[in-house]
Structure 1
């Protein structure tokens, strides 16, 4: 078999893996004098406070402002304060690795909305919008998004960016993985909060990066656009739109030469950028030798000797007008310690139903086909240590059949502690959920840009698990740091499946 060169995204993934023998060298001491601020500030620009619209009974005279205010608050607003002596730590509706919050949200509006046309930055700390550009910019947005059909009839869009150094300060080159996961959490909140407030989120991942950065006046060395969300107003008949594809492929970079440590993050982001020259009738201009591997068989992991468990469709009831869902969005917290107690089989079934079977929530007013990039590329494996009436071991979750298929028989409690970088969360959780993807297959389909899509989709799924666990009274916490190759080896996950993200669930201590 001939040597197959890695694409730049694959090279990035290999270079940023954690391994027991090299972890100490990768964990550089933090320079606290250079700790970044998790907020952007704008000394100029009109400020529109959104706080009054959160108060019960307020804002009825301005319903559009009220709905947008509450959507932004449920997506990324400050929902708790930890009073540290030097300065308070503000917790947000979306979780973030290390509490670094690398994402920024911009709001773009047309001329014909209740909100003056322009570009706004969401000031999280003040729950306000600051107008950074007072002009009609919608046609430039449409052009940068290659005339995505959702923008033709919608009137407001969210643009989510990453301020790279906020995460790189602590996590170095591996920060790009965590940034995309964090933005996936945020997108999960947008999608659900939109349902609550009579919007529908249409996710757009195919845009010309340089044009989007120029539109927002960003320094691309410091900050870059990761996602665009067209918000359709469901109270307007003309904005009740069909679903649209969220992705476009980029080129695949194989000619990248030597990349120094410390430069991998920007190299990976740059290689996954989409340019107008990449697109010819929506097709990828990639290496002609790049062929997509065959899709896995539908009967994956149907071992004749393996345990197969059909799960019930256990539904969480979000109450009238999704009131309990909104409360859950604002109450969710990352668990710091588990009790080591078992959870029920029905609780595990409810977690997986909410995350993977949104069609079962249609009658409650949730979107039966929420906007992801391409979740068909993401696989799910579950290490079970404490679920009543379920044998310990590692299982593959077959989404279509809503079925667990055991692939390894063992209690992995101590190994999970090791795999999660000796974090007690891995050892004491009842279940540890692994999201994986075949990078070769994903990159063959979407170029190096697939790396963004995979991690944001994994973060989106992880956030749905977070919210379901919170609603069920369980503890939950995501883990973005793990020994990559050892996860595959110990759990029996195929080596071609790259581990993207881990979600731990259990009884909180």
Structure 2
């Protein structure tokens, strides 16, 4: 019996014209959420509080909202809406609301000591018209990108930072008074550098820890059950959200995994990073939001040190944040100095890539995307996959959310690293799932979560 997460993921796949009927989505018309919060106190939003390098989300539709739970910071304790457009912190709740939100998270002694907890929500009505059924997973990946942004900037300030994926969803939504189409997705806890609570934390920010809702599900959400349930929801992703939610943290399990096993195939060890981690984090302060343009890359060959650095630097944004090590990193090399063209698997613990296939045909690869002209001249690509059945067995249907969040973290990390190296990294939303899997010889049990292309910046 399959999990509904697998069924939902299939419904989001983009298919070539004539190979099947498009997904029909039933979506109720919803009014846009009012985020003006008239009459609430406002405080300046400083760069020291929130990173200026804001990630571009959902092709500039901006469906990600950020709330901050503050304790002992520059502003009075309470709960704030982060208004980026006006560069303001809008106070929407006091100490009572803060306590209600903190009660939704596990490990109270740990979480109550956090100086700031950023809560990320998805406003689905802003993205649903473009991405249809895939809007939900796209928003999850955008939330992951926003989390990576916060993690990197917090580390650059010397703070300790932890990804929080396990919480009682409805309790957070009620405390923040979210609308019907705004859903809490993830949270990031930030501690001062010398915090002893953070220092003694078992997780220590590695991010391989996840909270599974598998135990509280009681039974599989299989195909038969979902066929009966789907009519009650305006879209499949609303049902997916219901199945992902955690109702009782006491029924959830902590999961920690680490994959350090070598893979079959020729091993290619990465060279040392081009810059130190301290230099990388320091340079982040000089980056500002850049306009992402979907245009063909310029012709060029990638330096081996740049290639190795981009893969090594994935660890700075907490490589396995949210995902408990269940996401797999495939690297498709087209034009990298001293590296044979082919399909590789990257094992971060071993700092090596392992050749899985010698076939990396750029023309066939380009045709696996909805607009082949936009992906021409890629120097290499990173394809993120997961065995969704395995992920759901370990983490329940919430595992699907973790995979998308984790993919967003990795995509944003690649984007930031590419900018520091004067290259371009771009996630491609619309690709032909089955054709790409077949071309890269990805196992049948794996599903492609995200694809990120890296190339030379086009002349402007």
TM-score bin (small chain): 0.7 to 0.9
Q: Paired residue for 2:226?
A: 256
Q: Aligned residue pairs: how many? A: 442
| 2:156 aligned partner | 196
Q: Cα–Cα, structure 1 residues 313 and 333, in superposed 2: closer, same or farther, change >3 Å?
A: farther
Aligned to 2:456: 507
- Residue 381 of structure 1 contacts residue 397 of structure 1 at CA under 8 Å; is this kept in 2? yes
The alignment status of 1:373 with 2:322, answered yes or no, reads yes
Question: Aligned ranges for residues 68-107 of structure 1 at < 5 Å?
Answer: 68=49, 71-74=50-53, 93-107=54-68
CA distance in structure 2 between the aligned counterparts of 1:72 and 1:295, rounded to whole angstroms: 30
Q: Is the 8 A contact 2:110 2:197 kept in 1?
A: no
In the TM superposition, residue 482 of structure 1 has moved relative to its aligned partner by: 1.2
Contact 2:262 2:347 in 1 (8 A): no
Q: Flag the 1:283–1:319 CA change in 2: closer, same or farther, 3 A.
A: closer
Q: Does 1:158 align with 2:95?
A: no
Tell me: CA distance 1:148–1:496, structure 2 relative to 1, closer, same or farther (3 Å): farther
Query: Counterpart of 2:5?
Result: 9
Whether the 8 Å CA contact 1:145–1:207 is kept in 2: the answer is: yes
SS in 1 for 2:101: helix
Give the secondary structure class of the aligned counterpart of 2:212.
coil
Out of 474, 478, 483, the residue aligned to residue 427 of structure 2 is 478
**Residues 445-500 of structure 1 deviation map (CA, whole Å, 9 limit, x = unaligned):** 00000011001111101111111111111111111221111111111111111101
Q: Is the aligned partner of 1:308 residue 2:267?
A: yes
Deviation string 1:334-369 (CA, Å, 9 cap, x unpaired) is: 66330132212221111101114x4xxxxxxxx8x6
SS at match of 1:137: helix
SS at 2:135 equivalent: helix
Q: Retained in 2: the 8 A contact 1:150–1:202?
A: no
- Corresponding residue for 1:272? 244
- 1:457-476 map, 5 Å: 457-476=406-425
Instruction: Give the 3 Å change call, closer, same or farther, for CA 27–8 of structure 1 in structure 2.
Output: closer
Distance 1:460 1:204 in 2: 13
Deviations 1:74-104 (A, max 9, x none): 3xxxxxxxxxxxxxxxxxx212222111110
CA contact (8 A) 1:426 1:432 kept: no
CA distance in 1, matches of 2:431, 2:343: 17
- 2:169 alignment partner in structure 1: 209
1:344-383 matched pairs, under 5 angstroms? 344-356=303-315, 358=316, 372-383=321-332
Post-superposition CA distance 1:198-226 (Å, at most 9, x none): 4222211111111010110112x210100
Give the 3-state SS of the residue equivalent to 1:377 in structure 2: coil
State the 1:410 CA deviation: 2.6
**5 Å matches for 1:379-398?**
379-398=328-347
Q: 1:473 to 1:113 in 2, by over 3 A?
A: closer
| Inter-CA distance 398–274: structure 2 relative to 1 (3 Å threshold) | same
1:405 alignment partner, one of 354, 366, 374:
354
Task: Say whether the 8 Å CA contact 1:377–1:442 is kept in structure 2.
Answer: yes
Partner residue in 1 for 2:145 = 185
User: 1:15, CA displacement in angstroms?
Assistant: 1.8
- Structure 2: gaps (5+ residues): none
Whether the aligned pair in 1 keeps the contact of 2:67 and 2:118 (CA below 8 Å) is yes
Distance 2:259 2:160 in 1: 32
Hey, what's the Cα distance between the residues in 1 that align with 2:261 and 2:198? 37
Alpha-carbon spacing, 1:154–1:353, altered in 2? closer, same or farther (3 Å): same
Distance 1:189 1:340, change over 3 A: same
Provide the TM-score with structure 1 as the length reference: 0.79
- Whole-Å separation in 1 of the counterparts to 2:279 and 2:425: 25
Equivalent of 1:326 in 279, 285, 288: 285
Pair 477,239 (structure 1): closer, same or farther in 2 beyond 3 Å? same
Contact 1:393 1:410 in 2 (8 A): yes
> Does the Cα contact within 8 Å between 1:146 and 1:208 map onto a contact in 2?
no
Describe the SS at the equivalent of 2:367.
Answer: helix
The alignment's TM-score, normalised by the length of structure 2, stands at 0.87
Number of the residue aligned with 2:101: 141
